[in-house]
Amino acid sequence: AAIPVIAVDGPSGAGKGTLSHLLAERLHWHFLDSGALYRVTGQACLIEGVSWQDHAAVAEVARHLQVSFVTDAGGEVRVSYRGCDVSREIRTEEGGRGASTVAAIPAVREALLARQRDFRQPPGLVADGRDMGTVVFPDAPLKIFLTASAAERARRRYQQLLAKGENVSLPRLLEDIEERDARDSSRSVAPLVPAEDAIVLDSSTMPITEVFDTVMRAVRQRG
């Protein structure tokens, strides 16, 4: 039988990361953070002096991306590009803009396709992203589309950044989120839409523990 995949898609800040990590941990499955691949691609362009606007050159960077994910002693995932730790840089607001900009380039998505599918290893994979259920793993037996209102996602992001000691404005964050949502859902290649067979859950009205329980029930039901 095919190696099982749980595809977890949705906009940023809906709790996909938390949900996906909980699932991977409970099931002892592998984990794919596809957003990190786009973030590293954006960062790699900065390092290599390639403009995000130069589509052919960005695709070349994506094709040769030397990226590694290593869990450190404290349980944190460190992300490296060509052996250089870029974990912090890729999580900044600029890192998010870079990811979203390079992710709109079809040749970049194509270049990262096989690399994402390589994560599908026994006993199973939890894949976190925007197009896991629609493009990368269309045959995934379980697809979750996790969403939340823009206001709620902005509020969560605000709390996260505050906790990291970053100085941010809530209205500015909300604006950024709405802008990125619009860009992600209107792009012609792999737009952010639920797969037809996805279970749609809204975390604005449900704590993430409840979302997790709901998904675990679905996992058991589908064997």
Binding-site residues, in ranges, read 10-18
d(CA 207, CA 70): 29
Q: How far is the CB of 129 from ligand C5P (least distance, A)?
A: 3
176 binds ligand C5P (CB under 6 A): no
Rounded CA separation 97/93 (Å): 6
Binding flag, residue 143, ligand C5P (CB under 6 A) = no
Binding-site positions for ATP: 10-18
Chain center to CA of 89: 16
The residue from 31, 38, 81, 137 that contacts ligand C5P (CB under 6 A) is 38
Residue of the chain from 154, 184, 198, 211 that contacts ligand C5P (CB under 6 A): 184
Q: Which of 4, 8, 10, 12 binds ligand C5P (CB under 6 A)?
A: 12
**CA-to-CA distance for 172 and 175, rounded, in angstroms?**
5
Biggest CA pair distance of the chain: 50
- Tell me, residue by residue from 69 to 98, as one string, x for binding to ligand C5P by CB under 6 A and - for no binding: ---------------------------x--
Residue nearest to ligand C5P (CB): 35
**Residue 156 is a binding residue for ligand C5P (CB under 6 A):** no
Inter-residue contact 132 to 193 (CB < 8 Å)? no
CB of 35 to ligand C5P, least distance (A): 2
